[in-house]
Copies of this chain bind each other. A is one copy, B any other.
Amino acid sequence: MTPAKPLPAYLAQRYHGWRATTFQDSMQWYRRLAEEGQRPRAMVISCCDSRVHVTSIFGAEQGEFFIHRNIANLVPPYQPDGNQHGTSAAVEYAVQALKVAHVIVLGHSRCGGVQGCYDMCSGDAPELEEPTSFVGRWMDILRPRFEELPQGERPDRLQAFEQAAVVTSLENLMSFPFVASRVEAGELSLHGLWTDIAEGSLLAYDPAGSAFKPV
């Protein structure tokens, strides 16, 4: 038998508070969203990290963003091999079924996944090299970028690696035929962002200069 436990009491209490206020205030809208279906304008791909709240940063309400969150906001390349690809499924659903107008990839500072990849590429994290390491194999998506990092101090190189993860995801998104064709038809635009958790800053990728610049 699945050993599920009751919800901790403090979460149950907070839920009842939400239902009596936020939900009550917006009930009609939530009902319409339920009955007519969602119609999000954008898909956001961000990290699982508890310090990244994309809905807070963008003041987004229920119904606005279709959000996929995984380790290090990575999109793998297009691989239609019949295996399970959760991220690719999310991209497919957002673009093909929901016809979102934007796909936004949001990276961030102090990313544990990117740091693990950096250590792995530096030979300092042999446990992540194991075939059985899910985190290690997932971060393989970013691995080829390690050679391209600029020289410098570790914090600067980590930040460059985090931003490289965003660019990698953008490039891999373009390897999906249904993404590329919509982008070329002007029906979909891609956006790369990186936020500094401590500073609250937000940079956007500018392909012209291959650089991240303040929004």
Contacts and interface: CB of A to CB of B under 8 A. Distances in A.
A194 to B, nearest CB: 12
Copies of this chain in its oligomeric complex: 4
Contact of A87 (B31, B32, B86, B102): B86
Given A112-B97, A137-B89, A192 B6 contact: no
Given A16-B21, A71-B93, A53 B55 contact: yes
Contact of A85 (B16, B134, B215): B134
Contacts of A23: 200
Nearest to A195: B15
Contacts of A97: 112, 135
User: How big is the A interface, by class?
Assistant: 35 or more
A18 B17 contact: yes
Interface string A142-185: 00000000000000000000000001001100100000000100
Q: Looking at chain A's contact residues, is the secondary structure mostly helix, strand, loop, or mixed?
A: mixed
B112 A56 contact: no
Interface in A79-104: 80-94, 97, 99, 101-102, 104
A68 to B, nearest CB: 5
Interface of A: 1-41, 43, 48-53, 55-71, 74, 76, 80-94, 97, 99, 101-102, 104, 109-110, 112-113, 131-135, 137-141, 167, 170-171, 174, 183, 186-193, 196-198, 200-202, 204-207, 215
